[in-house]
Amino acid sequence: MTATEEKTKDDDFQSCESFDTWGEFSIDEDEGVTTKWDAFEKLDGLKQYTKYKTEDNNLPTRILKLCVCILTFLLLTTCAVVSKTGLIYMTTQIRTLLDTPGNDVVGASAIWYWILWLCVSDCVPLLISLYRCFMIVLFRKTKWPSKSVFLSVALIETAHSVGLSIFVFQVLPNVGPLMGVLLMTAVALVPSIILTLFRAQRDGLRTGKTVIDVLAIGMQGSIFVWLYFYTANTEMIIWISASLVLISFGFWESVSDERFTTGVFGTISRAKQNLNSARYRTYTILNIWKICVSFGVMVYFGVTKYNLAIFFKPLSGLNNNVADESSTISHRDVYWSFFLQTISSFVGYIVAVFAVRTQIQIVGFTLPLVTSHLVSIVAVFLMSCLNTEDISHNFIHRIAVAGNECHPVGQFIGTFFISNYAWFSVFWFVSFLWIAGHIWFPNIEKLAKSSRIFCRPFYCNLLFAESLMLNRINDHILTDKFTAEEVMGSYLSLLSIDINKSQSFHDISSPLCDNHVTKGDKKPTKIFLCATMWHENENEMLNLLKSILRLDKDQSARRLAKTYFGKIDTDYYEFEAHILFDDAFEPTPEGDVINEFVVFFMDSLVKAIRNLNGVPVTELPFVKIPTPHGGRLEWTLPGDNRLTLHLKNKLFVRHRKRWSQVMYMYYLLAWKLKNEIQHDTPEHQHSIVQKTFILALDGDSNFRPRAVLQLVDLMKRDKKVGAACGRIHPIGTGPMVWYQKFEYATGHWFQKAAEHVFGCVLCSPGCFSLFRANAIMSPNVMSKYTVNATTPKEYLQCDQGEDRWLCTLMLKQGFRIEYCAASDAKTYSPESLHEFFNQRRRWMPSTIANNFDLIMDGKLFVAQNETFSWLYIAYQSALFCISLIAPSIVILLLTGACASAVPAFRRDKVYGIWKSLGLVGGPVVFYAIICLKAKREMQLQMASVLTVLYSIFMLLVGIGMTLVLSQSVFCAPGHFLVFSIMVPFVLAALAHPYEATCLPHMIWYWLSVPSMFVLLFIYAICNMHSVAWGTREKPQPEPEKEEPQIKSTQTKAPLFVKEGNAISDIDQLPAIQVHEKTEAVIKMGCDYAFQLMCCLYKTPDRDDIEEAAMQIRINQFEDRVDNLMHQLNIPLVERVETEATPKNQLKAKLSDVIAGSPRVKFVSPTAKPYERNNLLNPYWIEGKRLSGGELRVVSEEESVFWNELIEKYLKPLDKDDVQEAKVNALLVKLRNKSVIGLYTLNLLSIALIFFIQLNPAMQIPWILNTDMSFDVFGMVFFAVLHSCHVRTDDRDAIPPHGYFHVRYCRYQNFSR
Contact yes or no for 742/1015 (Cβ under 8 A): no
CB atoms near residue 58 (< 10 Å): 11
1089-1104: pLDDT as tens digits: 455 565 555 666 666 6
Contact 35, 1202 (CB under 8 A): no
Q: In this predicted structure, what is the pLDDT of residue 1290?
A: 43
pLDDT band, very low/low/confident/very high, at 1267 (cuts 50, 70, 90): low
Mean pLDDT score of the chain:
75
Q: Residue 278 has what pLDDT? A: 87
Residue 576's pLDDT is what?
94
As a whole-number percent, the residues of the chain with pLDDT over 90 amount to: 20
The pLDDT assigned to 113 comes to: 75
pLDDT for position 1269: 57
User: Picking from 191-195, 638-642, 920-924, 1247-1251, which range would have the lowest pLDDT averaged per residue?
Assistant: 1247-1251
Long-range contacts of 95-103 (CB under 8 A, 24+ apart): 95/173, 95/174, 95/176, 95/402, 96/323, 96/327, 96/398, 96/401, 96/402, 97/322, 97/323, 97/329, 98/173, 100/322, 100/323, 100/324, 100/327, 103/322, 103/323
Pick from 1021, 1038, 1040, 1020: which is nearest to 1030 by CA? 1020
For 1099-1125, the DSSP string reads: EE-HHHHHHHHHHHHHHHHHHHHHHHH
Task: For residue range 582-603, list pLDDT tens digits in order.
Answer: 989 988 888 889 999 999 999 9
pTM: 0.72
DSSP 587-612: EETTEEEE-HHHHHHHHHHHHHHHHH
Predicted pLDDT at 18: 31
Of 693, 697, 730, 722, nearest in space to 709 by CA: 693
604 in Cβ contact with 597 (< 8 Å):
no
Q: What is the pLDDT of residues 1104-1137, one digit of tens each?
A: 666 666 777 677 677 767 666 665 656 554 444 4
State how far the Cα of 46 lies from the Cα of 314, in Å rounded to an integer: 61
Checking if the pLDDT of 40 tops 70, the result is: no
| Mean pLDDT value of segment 1268-1274 | 54
Q: In the prediction, which pLDDT does 73 show? A: 93
Residue 1293, pLDDT above cutoff 50: no
The answer to which of 43-52, 238-247, 422-431, 763-772 has the lowest mean pLDDT is 43-52
* Helix, strand or coil, per DSSP, at residue 314: coil
Distance (Å, whole) CA 505 – CA 495: 15
- Exposure of 573 by Cβ count < 10 A (0-12 exposed, 13-18 middle, 19+ buried)? buried
d(CA 111, CA 108): 5
CB atoms within 10 A of CB 35: 11
- Per-residue confidence at 51, pLDDT binned at 50, 70, 90? very low
Residue 707 has pLDDT above 90, yes or no: yes
What is the rounded average pLDDT of the residues 728-744? 90
Report which of residues 939 and 445 the model is more confident about. 939
User: For 2-6, 698-702, 868-872, 1054-1058, which range has the lowest pLDDT when averaged over its residues?
Assistant: 1054-1058
Model confidence at 489, pLDDT cuts 50, 70, 90, reads very low
Confidence of residue 71 (pLDDT cuts 50, 70, 90): very high
Mean pLDDT of 877-895: 86
**DSSP summary character for residue 791:** S
With the CA atoms of 493, 495, 499 and 501 taken in that order, what torsion angle do they form, in degrees rounded to the nearest 10? 160
Within 10 angstroms of residue 1078's Cβ, the number of other Cβ atoms is: 9
Could you report the per-residue pLDDT of 665-703, keeping only the tens digit for each?
999 988 888 888 877 777 788 888 888 999 999 988 999
Say what the pLDDT of residue 568 is: 82
Is the predicted pLDDT of residue 983 greater than 60, yes or no? yes
- The arithmetic mean of pLDDT across residues 700-724, rounded, is 90
Give pLDDT, residue 575.
93
Per-residue pLDDT, 1031: 60
What SS3 state is found at 1045?
Answer: coil
Nearest to 533 by CA among 468, 605, 620, 622: 605
- Taking the mean position of all CA atoms in its chain, how far away is CA 787? 25
Report the pLDDT value the prediction gives residue 1145, as an integer from 0 to 100.
52
- The answer to whether the beta carbons of residues 1231 and 928 sit under 8 Å apart is no
Which amino acid does the sequence have at 1167? Answer: A
Selection from 125, 249, 139, 235 nearest residue 187 by Cα: 249
pLDDT in tens, 1172-1229: 788 888 889 888 888 888 899 888 889 999 999 999 888 888 877 788 888 888 888 8
Q: Which phi and psi angles does 1299 have, rounded to 5°?
A: -70, -30
1220 vs 219, residue with greater confidence: 219
- pLDDT on residue 1126: 61
Which pLDDT belongs to residue 647?
94
The span from the CA of 1138 to the CA of 374, in Å, is 107
Residue 404's pLDDT is what? 44
Mapped onto helix, strand or coil, the DSSP state of residue 418 is helix
Q: Confirm if 1099 and 1145 have CB atoms less than 8 A apart.
A: no
- Write the pLDDT tens digit of every residue in 417-457: 676 787 888 889 999 999 998 899 888 877 788 888 888 88
What percent of the chain lies above the pLDDT cut of 70? 69
Q: Of 400, 562, 393, whose CA–CA distance to 6 is shortest?
A: 562
Kindly report, residue by residue over 545-580, the tens digit of the pLDDT.
999 999 999 999 999 888 888 788 888 999 999 999
DSSP code, position 909: T
Burial class for 1042, CB neighbours closer than 10 Å (0-12, 13-18, 19+): exposed
CA distance 1121 to 513: 62
Q: Which of 6-15, 141-150, 948-957, 1127-1136 has the lowest mean pLDDT?
A: 6-15
pLDDT at 1138 over 70: no
The pLDDT of residue 1154 is above 50: no
Q: Which helix or strand (DSSP H or E) is residue 1084 part of?
A: strand 1076-1086
**Model confidence at 1084, in pLDDT bands (50, 70, 90)?**
low
More confident residue, 335 or 374: 374
The pLDDT value given to residue 740 = 92
Mean pLDDT of 23-46: 41
Please report which confidence band the pLDDT of residue 391 belongs to, taking 50, 70 and 90 as the band edges.
Answer: very low
Residue 822 has pLDDT above 90, yes or no: no
Q: What is the pLDDT of residue 963?
A: 75
Asked if 851 and 840 touch (Cβ cutoff 8 Å), the reply is no
Report pLDDT for 416.
64
**Distance, CA of 414 to CA of 238 (rounded, Å):** 27
For the segment 504-512, the average pLDDT, to the nearest whole number, is 36
pLDDT bucket at 632, cuts 50 / 70 / 90: very high
End-to-end C-alpha distance for the chain, whole angstroms:
83
Instruction: Identify the residue with better confidence: 1069 or 533.
Output: 533
pLDDT for residue 1107: 67
Buried b (16+ CB within 10 A) or exposed e, 356-369: bbbbbbbbbbbbbb
Q: What pLDDT, on the 0 to 100 scale, is given for residue 384?
A: 66
Say what angle helices 973-991 and 936-967 make with each other, to 10 degrees. Answer: 110
